[in-house]
């Protein structure tokens, strides 16, 4: 009787181990398992060469995003307990009337275990700042034709 219990215990342990290993193996069609966890889809429009739809997974950074590691790093820095890193600009906030261009973006998916559905544009100073805070998750579309100081102008300021 003791041998029967030992075999039963052994068979039970083998069955438990087999079910624990099974999810790691490929499915019946030979495809690897679908990764679980945080996944974001970033769709960018009206941003020139940056237009497109990108997938981002973090830890480690991977996906079709052009800079997955840097995008994950900005999200990690902005993820603070009790604050939504994708929160919109609060209603009633006073914003400058600067337009940052026609670029728009939508981020959907899951981050830190929570659903995400955020929209971005560059229609006023607050929206521009919100977008710029998410670079490189969102593309850097700041104007490259801004006036720049020449070396002579810089020297004049310091005299």
In 10 A of CB 100, how many CB atoms? 18
Asked if residue 82 lies in contact with residue 92, where contact means CB atoms within 8 angstroms, the answer is: no
Q: How far apart are CA 58 and CA 69, in angstroms?
A: 7
Chain-centre distance for alpha carbon 5: 52
Q: How far apart are CA 125 and CA 31, in angstroms?
A: 47
pTM (2 d.p.): 0.68
C-alpha closest to that of 119 among 59, 22, 44, 54? 44
Measured at the CA of 112, the angle between CA 95 and CA 115, to 5 degrees, comes to: 70
pLDDT, tens digit, 9 for 90 and up, residues 86-116: 999 999 999 999 999 999 999 999 999 899 9
Asked if residue 70 lies in contact with residue 49, where contact means CB atoms within 8 angstroms, the answer is: no
Length of the chain equals 159
Q: Provide CB contacts within 8 A for 5, sequence distance 6+.
A: none
Can you give the pLDDT of all 159 residues of the chain as single tens digits?
Answer: 445 445 554 444 444 444 444 444 444 555 455 456 789 999 999 999 999 999 999 988 999 999 999 999 999 999 998 899 999 999 999 999 999 999 999 999 999 989 999 999 999 999 999 999 999 999 999 865 444 444 444 344 444
């Amino acid at each position: 009787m003791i041998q029967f219990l030992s075999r039963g215990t052994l068979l039970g342990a083998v069955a438990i181990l087999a079910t624990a290993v099974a999810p790691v193996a490929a499915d019946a069609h030979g495809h690897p398992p679908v990764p679980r966890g945080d996944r974001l889809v970033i769709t960018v429009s009206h941003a020139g060469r940056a237009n497109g739809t990108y997938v981002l997974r973090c830890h480690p950074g991977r996906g079709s995003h052009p800079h997955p590691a840097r995008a994950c790093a900005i999200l990690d820095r902005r993820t603070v307990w009790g604050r939504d890193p994708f929160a919109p600009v609060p209603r009633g906030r006073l914003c400058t009337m600067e337009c940052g261009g026609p670029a728009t973006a939508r981020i959907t998916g899951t981050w830190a275990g929570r659903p995400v559905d955020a929209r971005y544009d560059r229609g006023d100073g607050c929206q521009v700042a919100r977008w710029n805070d998410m670079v490189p998750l969102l593309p850097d579309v700041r104007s490259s034709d801004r006036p720049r100081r020449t070396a002579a102008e810089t020297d004049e300021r310091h005299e």
